[in-house]
Amino acid sequence: MRDYNLGFISNENIYNHVKETVELYRNEIDLQQFNKNIIDPIKLTFDAKIYGKGFEEIIESECVRQIDKTNTNHIGYFHQNLFKYVGNGWKVPDKGFDVINDERHIYVELKNKHNTMNGGAGTNVYANMQNKILHDDQAVCMLVEVIATKSRNEKWNKDGLSHEKIRRVSIDKFYEIVFGDKDAFFKLCKALPDILDDVIDELQRGCIVNSVYDELRELSPDTFKSLYLLAFKTYAGFQNF
């Protein structure tokens, strides 16, 4: 195994963690999965005509979008569960906060992007943090964002409320708190392509297996017709499409 030169996590642990994430990644889609929530053929028709694309290209794009939506959740897994390997009191509990360190009284809600919480969700998270510091006067609660608007470790001002022990922290600053290295997150990002190359080489993964278009063609040589019948086959008139 090559040396990824991270320093704050072993080569073996970061390799295994990336491997676990890759194994979770969705890379297959068939017609049943494609139409699980009933595809919108009208939207696809607009897309095809407006962007000057064939239905095969539009279907491929929609398949990639669906797969990407699933895989976004796995990136959340990657960010959160890395802290299982840290030791020094850091834990990923089954419920409650996403990452905790009872020894240091640090409790973390981890989000991939700064705009993923709507107002109600943010209010609930803030209230949970208020409750934690009310019952533990040493507690520091953090909303940690991987993709924040800036690098920061500051009071989280929420709906006119703020408290010194309720913090809004970008992931680079959180890595510095956890690992004592201000460049730790940068080092991980820099090493990630090499780690992924090694993992993908072992697993022989890296391409999307997509049978949707072929299955649509089996239903009818007219892909346009097949798309509409997926959604509207019981609607009046469509029996004679």
Is 36 in a helix, a strand, or coil?
coil
Is residue 107 over pLDDT 70? yes
In this prediction the pTM is: 0.83
Cα 203 to chain centroid, rounded? 21
Cα 193 to chain centroid, rounded? 17
Q: 62-71, 114-123, 157-166 — which is least confidently predicted?
A: 114-123
Query: What is the dihedral angle through the alpha carbons of 127, 129, 132, 133, rounded to the nearest 10 degrees?
Result: -110
User: Which segment, 58-72, 86-100, 208-222, is predicted with the most confidence on average?
Assistant: 86-100
Indicate whether 86 belongs to any domain: no
Indicate whether 156 belongs to any domain: yes
> Which among 10, 176, 144 is positioned nearest to 79, based on CA atoms?
144
Q: Are residues 117 and 63 in the same domain?
A: no
Indicate whether 2 belongs to any domain: no
Helix (H) or strand (E) segment spanning residue 59: helix 55-81
Give residue 169's domain range.
Answer: 91-179
> Which among 85, 83, 91, 80 is positioned nearest to 10, based on CA atoms?
85
Sheet holding 153-155, edge to edge: 90-91, 99-101, 106-113, 140-147, 166-170, 153-155
The H-assigned helical ranges of 41-165 are: 41-50, 55-81, 119-135
Distance, in Å, from the CA atom of 220 to the CA atom of 226, rounded to the nearest integer, reads 6
Report how many domains make up the chain. 2
Is 39 in a helix, a strand, or coil?
coil
Is 157 in a helix, a strand, or coil?
coil
**pLDDT at residue 174, rounded to an integer:** 97
Q: Are residues 69 and 122 in the same domain?
A: no
Average pLDDT, the chain: 91
